[in-house]
Amino acid sequence: MGDNGNQDHKPMSAAVKEERRCFIANKLVLTVVVLGASGDLAKKKTFPALFTLFRKGFLPKNLKLIGYARSKLSNEDLHGKIKDYLKGDDKTKDEFLSRVSYVPGSYDGDEGFQGLEKVLEEREKEFEGAPLGRLFYLALPPSVYPQVCAGLKKNCANIKMAGKDSWLRLVIEKPFGMDLKTSEELADKLGELFPEEQLYRIDHYLGKELMQNMLVLRFANQFLSPTWHRNFISNVQICFKEPFGTEGRGGYFDEFGIIRDVMQNHLTQILALLAMEQPVTLSADDIRDEKVRVLRALSPVALEDTVLGQYTAGGDTKAYLDDETVPKGSKTPTFATCVMRIHNERWEGVPWIMKAGKALNERKVEIRVQYKPPAASIHGEVIDQMRNELVLRLQPDEAIYMKIVVKKPGLEMESIVSELDLSYKQRYGDTYIPDAYERLILDAIRGDQQHFVRRDELRAAWAAFTPLLHAIDRGEAEPQEYPAGSRGPPASDILVSKAGFVKNANYLWKGKNSGQAGDIS
């Protein structure tokens, strides 16, 4: 059996893309098995993403979906669970659901997987000689990955009639371990069963529009390339803010904390794409080679470069410690700011600031690349407070804007910060921006691993955070309290400012339609 994914070394031409699309649409016999089909991720993300791909015509004509889990459900029970999460008209929903069936089975032993294999074989034998695709989506807790993968390997991995275009792939979800050691142990176990080409480690941030834009923005804009360097850039901030707390998910969250939950994975992936060198080609492995290189140049995050926080009650949100699912007296951080260092020729001396928190004042994920002030300004000291910043806002409302210093319109010669603004809604209007899961599942079906995390990337990311996580686990750092709805502990701003971030003086964005420039008063 081959795995003829898109590992080519050149960007695909339109003709090749069309050929591939037609192949998938007309020839491929695809079965997607969602393991853990009775769970939250499956119903909120996996099936809805598959449905949208189906509705938009991206999935093959010969498509079947199988839900697999321990619960004793009928096909109709599963349909009932997922139907309300599908976005589209009833006719298309029914057409989609008619292709979805349910197989109950356990995650250990052979019996369940043998039952699954029977259903798969039954379906596939109708298409003798045709290329077959089996996509196993593990919407399951990672603790059962090894046994599930072993069950799949033993019972469901011998696709009959396998030709060079037939394939079997597994999509797996984070968390991939708790630290470097446990992550490596998990990777070893899975690696003994399936080669890296068949493992698609999902980090859904890699499917977000602005993350997908990163290589284009960085390497197709000549004006950016020469300034993307310590000579020009003062500091970089990667900021993740959520306005809600753990909301009954505290049991899960408390085991992990904010650093394992979003920093070691999502925010580190952002850092890698921002900081890496230009890959030799756009092949998945060339890109991931560069990501690994830069991640390996990251110094382990130091405790003294970190501020931790835990939210107390604020507004309608109750304190983290008052969530019934959170263990009494927990010291788990719900907020963290870390200043990180990349030791290479490009980034030596530039602080990379990561900030993430739950129950903060807004929902926002953004990257802020702050430039140094002019070396010999003729415009006075205030210019130091008026930094060029390139801001990439991943959500909400994707935007890329560059803060620039201009003369304030009028008779006086006064400088102000304004912006060059690419707001996606304004510029691209109704263009559909796919959900991250839609893109990534489609990539897995197309065999494109570019936006999936390779084992060595994961290792390097864990290596950067593991000493800090162990220190926190040993109780060497206490989280500082911050009220829900605030910007986090004040010590975070102090750390960020010490690292070199300068808050622009009196910058005011007047919005897209006001016709007024930013003001300084």
Ligand X SMILES: NC(=O)C1=CN([C@@H]2O[C@H](COP(=O)(O)OP(=O)(O)OC[C@H]3O[C@@H](n4cnc5c(N)ncnc54)[C@H](OP(=O)(O)O)[C@@H]3O)[C@@H](O)[C@H]2O)C=CC1
Ligand Y SMILES: O=C1O[C@H](COP(=O)(O)O)[C@@H](O)[C@H](O)[C@H]1O
Catalytic annotation, residues: 266
Per rule CB under 6 A, is residue 173 in the interface with ligand Y?
no
CB of 521 to ligand X, least distance (A): 14
Please give the residues from 350 up to 369 whose contact with ligand X meets the rule CB under 6 A: 368
Per rule CB under 6 A, is residue 267 in the interface with ligand Y?
no
CB of 51 to ligand Y, least distance (A): 18
Q: Which H or E run includes 255?
A: helix 250-258
368 binds, among ligand X, ligand Y, none (CB under 5 to 8 A by kind): ligand X
The SS3 of residue 218 is: helix
Per rule CB under 6 A, is residue 507 in the interface with ligand X?
yes
Per rule CB under 6 A, is residue 87 in the interface with ligand X?
no
Using CB positions, name the residue nearest to ligand X. 509
Q: List Cβ neighbours of 490 (8 Å cut-off, separation of 6 or more).
A: none
Per rule CB under 6 A, is residue 398 in the interface with ligand Y?
no
CB of 158 to ligand Y, least distance (A): 34
Judged by beta carbon, residue 6 or residue 423, the one nearer ligand X is 423
Give CA–CA dist 421/403, Å, rounded.
Answer: 8
Judged by beta carbon, residue 204 or residue 387, the one nearer ligand Y is 204
Judged by beta carbon, residue 293 or residue 408, the one nearer ligand X is 408
Choose among 28, 292, 243: nearest CA to 134: 28
Binding residue count for ligand X, defined by CB under 6 A? 14
Per rule CB under 6 A, is residue 487 in the interface with ligand X?
yes
Please give the residues from 223 up to 252 whose contact with ligand X meets the rule CB under 6 A: 239
What is the secondary structure of 273-331 as a DSSP string? HHHSPPPSSSSHHHHHHHHHHHHHTBPPPPGGGEEEEEEE-BTTBPPGGGSTTSPTT--
Per rule CB under 6 A, is residue 386 in the interface with ligand X?
no
Give CA–CA dist 295/453, Å, rounded.
Answer: 12
Per rule CB under 6 A, is residue 504 in the interface with ligand X?
yes
Per rule CB under 6 A, is residue 415 in the interface with ligand X?
no
Judged by beta carbon, residue 41 or residue 382, the one nearer ligand Y is 41
Per rule CB under 6 A, is residue 289 in the interface with ligand Y?
no
Give CA–CA dist 350/126, Å, rounded.
Answer: 60
- Among 138, 262, 270, 369, the residue binding ligand Y under the rule CB under 6 A is 262
CB of 503 to ligand X, least distance (A): 4
Write b or e for each residue in 294-326: b if 16 or more Cβ atoms lie within 10 A of its Cβ, otherwise e: bbbbbeebeeebbbbbbbbbbeebbbbbebeeb
Per rule CB under 6 A, is residue 509 in the interface with ligand X?
yes
Per rule CB under 6 A, is residue 242 in the interface with ligand Y?
yes
Stretch 363-382: interaction string toward ligand Y, x if CB under 6 A: --x-----------------
The SS3 of residue 197 is: helix
Q: Output the six-digit token pair for 217.
A: 């923005």
The SS3 of residue 498 is: helix
179 binds, among ligand Y, ligand X, none (CB under 5 to 8 A by kind): none
Choose among 214, 365, 354, 209: nearest CA to 276: 214
Per rule CB under 6 A, is residue 261 in the interface with ligand Y?
yes
Judged by beta carbon, residue 102 or residue 240, the one nearer ligand X is 240
Chain-centroid distance, C-alpha 103: 30
Give CA–CA dist 201/52, Å, rounded.
Answer: 21
DSSP state of 88: S
Phi-psi region of 314 (alpha: psi -120 to 50; beta: other; left: phi over 0): beta
Contact segment (CB under 6 A) with ligand X among 176-184, 335-343, 416-424, 459-467 equals 416-424
* Residues engaged in binding ligand Y (CB under 6 A): 204, 242, 261-262, 365
* Residues engaged in binding ligand X (CB under 6 A): 239, 368, 391, 399, 401, 419, 421, 423, 487, 493, 503-504, 507, 509
